[in-house]
Amino acid sequence: MLRSTVASVLASLLLVPLVTSPAHAAREAPRLPEAVGAGGVVSSVDPDASQIGVDVLRRGGNAVDAAVAVAAALGVTDPFSAGMGGGGFLVHYDARTRRVSTLDGRETAPASADADLFVEDGAAIPFAEAVTSGLSVGVPGTPRLWQRALQRWGTYSLDRALRPAEDLARRGFTVDATFNRQVTDNAARFADFTSTRALYLPGGAPPAVGSTFRNPDLADTYRELRRDGVDALYRGAVGRDLVAAVRQPPVVPGATREVRPGDLTAADLRRYDAPRREPAQVRYRGLDVFGMAPPSSGGTTVGEALNILETTDLGAESPVQHLHRFLEASRLSFADRNRWVGDPAFADVPTHELLSQRFADSRACLIDPAKALTSPVAPGDPRNPVPCGTSGEPAATPYEGTDTTHLTVADRWGDVVAFTLTIEQEGGSGIVVPGRGFLLNNELTDFSFTPVTPGVPDPNLPGPGKRPRSSMSPTIVLDHGKPVLALGSPGGASIITTVLQVLTGRLDRGQPLVQAIAAPRASQRNTASTQAEAAFLAAPEAQALRDLGHRFTSSGEIGSVTAVERLPDGRWRAAAEPTRRGGGAARAVRPSRP
């Protein structure tokens, strides 16, 4: 149980120095994976962004004020994963009402989109060509989500919340190895757009590690949003420039890459909203776990997997059986996710039934402790669950870009925000809006290009104004109405398995939070072979899992978690990755030792 294991923590902490200048934070403050203290905490992938969040909390802002400020800062320092050209999902806990709410800032397809958006001459276009195009750009949702969150729960105006990020973009920050690598990995396609090349390949090369990177165009764009509100994008000049970049991508003369234009219009921008949705919720080990409901599949898939795992006392199982059951629950919940989850405005998504314990029990009985299932496993029927039964043909898990980001915040009053945001692929579409300093998303490639299984209804085909299915899984866990844990991760479809693995490590196995985050990862998504990090494959449990029939494929890093948890004495712990993506940045307003 979490309350009985939360005292099992690392013996000592390196405390965070008090830093007021975000320009100096990256040089002076290390990328610490853990911070404990009072007054509130922030965890993100970047020291500058986390420090900005802590400064907001220190000055009296609440968790939502800090989350928006951190997200805007990540648009400066982590622009290849997130920014105002993308979208996201926010889960919020209000300490006064003890209520969890969610906002859906997922991008939408243009009104002209249909099921054949990515089909030419009867066949799907190559995925890489869809990514680097105007065709894949959805209406950005992040700025509208910022506005809605501040209106509902914040104390800051958008003007005040964006000011630190504008200052950071104008003053600059120190380029690290991750930033340099991301530009280097995308240099070929960045070089094919005049605006992207000018910003990220100055002099024809990526910004050097240790150099100062400034983005005055983005600073000016933030200033415009501060002055005019998000109407600057959804009804104003920023939006006009965005539409022009989508419809006539700024391709370098003579470039040989085929870059398809999109059909996004000013009317599509005007119609956009970031609606409030009821969260996905399950009861697990006496705790209430809240996540994001469709069009994200995160809440339903994590929730179903937890319900499947609840039929076993994971804390009493061997390490091998714990991992075996984690992988099998992931396999089964992905089978159901692929068949049933899409945009609820366009598909009849059985959210309640997917989250029912009755349905989970009908799937859990397929797990054999002595033998792994063989993927692809057919889905179940959540509306008519039959013990150990399946329904219809299995559906594969389409590829999703992995370069998202997540931030987690708690404030002095006990409010909590888990916020996952993205532009989809690393570098999104590759198109910087000329004169505006931000990359456009390629989020529409999260749609199925064609039906995943011929003859089987696919809830995730493109459509006019439709939101593509997501795997983002911002999650908040409550114990008797009070928060004990909040977390999330980037990683495309592996977000779901990453969040699930950390939850089981922390809640069931009693691992200290940083240890649960640092543990080697594997991601089973109803595929014949499970992706696994090298450290996972090197562990002795991997061979025992192979003996049970699991097959593995070596992968790079899986996910990059940030999290916060409430300690029994009322203080908070912020936790982040020790090494993945170069390490995260946990910060506390008033740091102290545990």
8 Å CB contact between 425 and 446: no
Structure tokens at 180: 């340099």
Amino acid in position 129: E
8 Å CB contact between 486 and 411: no
Residue-level length of the chain: 594
Query: Distance between CA 230 and CA 54 in Å, rounded?
Result: 24
Query: Distance between CA 524 and CA 200 in Å, rounded?
Result: 35
DSSP class of 58: H
Beta partners for residue 573, in sequence order: 36, 565
Q: Are strands 552-555 and 530-533 parallel, antiparallel or unpaired?
A: parallel
b/e code 310-323 from CB counts within 10 Å (16+ = b): bbbebeebeebbbb
Specify the residue for token string 């089973």. 524
Query: Distance between CA 47 and CA 342 in Å, rounded?
Result: 35
Q: What is the pLDDT of residue 395?
A: 62
pTM assigned to the model: 0.93
**DSSP states along 543-585:** HHHHHTT--EEEES-----EEEEE-TTS-EEEEE-SSGGG--E
pLDDT in tens, the chain (594 residues): 333 333 332 222 222 222 233 333 334 457 999 999 999 999 999 999 999 999 999 999 999 999 999 999 999 999 999 999 999 999 999 999 999 999 999 999 999 999 999 999 999 999 999 999 999 999 999 999 999 999 999 999 999 999 999 999 999 999 999 999 999 999 999 999 999 999 999 999 999 999 999 999 999 999 999 999 999 999 999 999 999 999 999 999 999 999 999 999 999 999 999 999 999 999 999 999 999 999 999 999 999 999 999 999 999 999 999 999 999 999 999 999 999 999 999 999 999 999 999 999 999 999 999 999 999 999 999 999 999 877 666 665 665 555 689 999 999 999 999 999 999 999 999 999 999 999 999 999 999 999 887 877 899 999 999 999 999 999 999 999 999 999 999 988 999 999 999 999 999 999 999 999 999 999 999 999 999 999 999 999 999 999 999 999 999 999 999 999 999 999 999 999 999 999 999 999 999 986
**DSSP states along 437-478:** --BPP-GGGGS-SS-SSTTS--TTS--TTPPPPB----EEEE
Q: What is the pLDDT of residue 396?
A: 59
Q: Is the dihedral of CA 151, 571, 563, 16 positive or negative?
A: positive
Q: Give backbone dihedrals phi and psi of 588, rounded to 5 degrees, phi first.
A: -125, 145
Count Cα neighbours of 133 within 13 Å in the Cβ-side half-sphere: 21
Closest CA to 485 of 520, 512, 464: 512
Query: Distance between CA 465 and CA 141 in Å, rounded?
Result: 12
b/e code 270-288 from CB counts within 10 Å (16+ = b): eebebeebebbbbebbebb
8 Å CB contact between 174 and 241: no
Q: Give backbone dihedrals phi and psi of 519, rounded to 5 degrees, phi first.
A: -55, 145
Query: Distance between CA 359 and CA 382 in Å, rounded?
Result: 6
Distances (CA, A) of 151 to 91, 147, 409: 15, 6, 18
Query: Distance between CA 500 and CA 502 in Å, rounded?
Result: 6
DSSP class of 425: S
Burial class (CB in 10 A: 0-12, 13-18, 19+), 177: exposed
Annotated catalytic residue 404: yes
Query: Distance between CA 457 and CA 187 in Å, rounded?
Result: 39
Amino acid in position 113: A
- CA 49 to chain CA mean position, Å: 16
Catalytic residue among 108, 404, 405, 497: 404
Beta partners for residue 41, in sequence order: 410, 588
Q: Is the dihedral of CA 434, 240, 105, 251 positive or negative?
A: negative
Beta partners for residue 572, in sequence order: 37, 566
Task: Please state, as a whole number, how many other Cβ atoms lie within 10 Å of the Cβ of residue 544.
Answer: 16
Q: Is the dihedral of CA 457, 342, 139, 492 positive or negative?
A: negative
Structure tokens at 524: 């089973």
Amino acid in position 568: P
Q: What is the pLDDT of residue 25?
A: 36
Query: Distance between CA 309 and CA 13 in Å, rounded?
Result: 33
8 Å CB contact between 474 and 488: yes
Closest CA to 300 of 331, 328, 340, 327: 340
Q: What is the pLDDT of residue 397?
A: 64
Q: What is the pLDDT of residue 398?
A: 61
Q: Is the dihedral of CA 46, 51, 56, 57 positive or negative?
A: positive
Structure tokens at 338: 């692929």
- CA 434 to chain CA mean position, Å: 26
Alpha-carbon dihedral angle through residues 533, 537, 541, 545, given to the nearest 10 degrees: 100
Closest CA to 463 of 114, 86, 77: 114
8 Å CB contact between 382 and 359: yes
